[in-house]
Amino acid sequence: MEVTGVIKPGIDPHEYEPTPADLAQVHDAKLVLTSGKELESYQSKLQEATTADILKVGDHLPSLKMKSGEDSNKPGQNGMIQDPHWWHSVANVKQATKVVRDELIKLDPSDKAEFEQNATTYLAQLTELDGWVKRKVAELPRDKRKLVTSHDAFQYFAHEYGFTIEAIEGISPEVEASNRHVSELIDQIKNQGVKAIFLETGLNPKVTEEITKETGAKSGGSLYPDGLGTGDAATYSGMMKHNVTTIVDALK
Amino acid sequence: MKGSPLVRLVLVIAALLAVLWPLRTLTSHHDSPQTPTAVKTAANSEVTVHMVLTSTTWPFSFEVTHLGKVIWKGDSSASSIAQDIPLSFPAEGIDLVLNAHWQEEKQTAIKLEVTPPDSDPMARTLWGTTQVGDVLTFSKP
Q: Which chain A residues touch B if contact means CB-CB below 8 Å?
A: 131, 134-135, 137-143, 145, 162
pLDDT for the residue A130: 97
Residue A71 has pLDDT above 90, yes or no: no
Alpha carbon distance B131, B123 (integer Å): 19
CATH class of B46-138: mainly beta
pLDDT for the residue B1: 52
Task: Determine contact, residues B50/B82, Cβ cutoff 8 Å.
Answer: yes
pLDDT for the residue A166: 78
Mean per-residue pLDDT for A73-94? 83
Q: Does the domain formed by A140-251 have CATH 3.40.50.10800? A: no
Give the pLDDT confidence of B3-25 residue by residue, as tens digits.
Answer: 677 677 777 677 666 656 555 54
B133 touches chain A (CB under 8 A): yes
pLDDT confidence bin for A72, thresholds 50/70/90:
very low
Alpha carbon distance A167, A223 (integer Å): 13
Task: Determine contact, residues A222/A198, Cβ cutoff 8 Å.
Answer: yes
**Which value does ipTM take for this structure?**
0.79
Which of A14-18, A19-23, B33-37, B101-105 bottoms out in mean pLDDT, i.e. has the lowest? Answer: B33-37
User: Going by C-beta distance under 8 Å and a sequence separation of 6 or more, which residues neighbour residue B90?
Assistant: A141, A142, A143
Name the minimum distance, in Å, from the CA of B138 to any CA of chain A. Answer: 10
Task: Determine contact, residues B121/B114, Cβ cutoff 8 Å.
Answer: yes
pLDDT for the residue B16: 65
Alpha carbon distance A222, A173 (integer Å): 14
Domain residue spans in chain B? 46-138
Residue A194 has pLDDT above 60, yes or no: yes
pTM for the full model? 0.80
Strands (E), chain A: 31-34, 53-56, 65-67, 80-82, 146-149, 164-167, 196-199, 218-222
End-to-end Cα, chain A, rounded Å: 45
Chain B hits for A138, CB-CB cut-off 8 Å, are: 65, 67-68, 95-97, 135
